Amino acid sequence: MIEKIDHIGIAVKNLDETMRKYADVFRLKVTSIEVHPDLNIRICFIPVGEVLIEFLEPLSEEGRIGEFIKENGEGIHHIAYRVTDLEAILRMMKKEKITLRDEQPRSGGMGSKIAFIDPSETNGVLTELVERP
């Protein structure tokens, strides 16, 4: 079911400043920058070994990331696990009555399909499932 940790999502106020900081301090390079107006976010991915760090910047205070930063400040937003056959996993979870934020896969960063599990199911941790092409 779960293959490995895909990425750790971190909410930030300023993506450009964050990318510069990680390049200067840790010598890490951004591999992808994307804007998702439908989610009201701009994101980037930085690989660290086999795991990606995903930085999420809200385009405005509206939307989940903007609200998250307003309530909690910058910081870890979610952990994402790589899976195969996301649709089958979601069907199984629905059958098991697991509370999902996304009952159907939706488009994610870098051409992936994603779905979120409600934090009430995972000890308060917002959990994302990711299927990569």
Question: Would the pLDDT of 92 be above 90?
Answer: yes
What is the spatial distance between Cα 114 and Cα 125, in angstroms, rounded to a whole number? 16
Task: Name the pTM for this structure.
Answer: 0.94
C-beta separation of 89 from 43 below 8 A = no
pLDDT for position 74: 98
Q: Residue 113: name the closest of 92, 84, 91 by CA.
A: 84
- Residue spans of the domains in the chain: they are 7-77, 83-133
Identify the pLDDT of residue 62.
Answer: 87
For residue 61, what pLDDT is reported?
87
With contact defined as beta carbons under 8 Å apart, do 54 and 43 qualify?
Answer: yes
Q: Is the pLDDT of residue 8 over 90?
A: yes
Whole-number pLDDT of residue 124: 96
CATH fold for domain 7-77: 2,3-Dihydroxybiphenyl 1,2-Dioxygenase; domain 1 (3.10.180)
| 1, pLDDT greater than 90 | no
In this prediction, residue 126 has a pLDDT band, given cuts at 50, 70 and 90, of: very high
For the domain made up of 83-133, the CATH class stated in words is alpha beta
As a whole number, the mean pLDDT across the chain is 96
Residues in the chain: 133
- Equal CATH topology for 7-77 and 83-133: yes
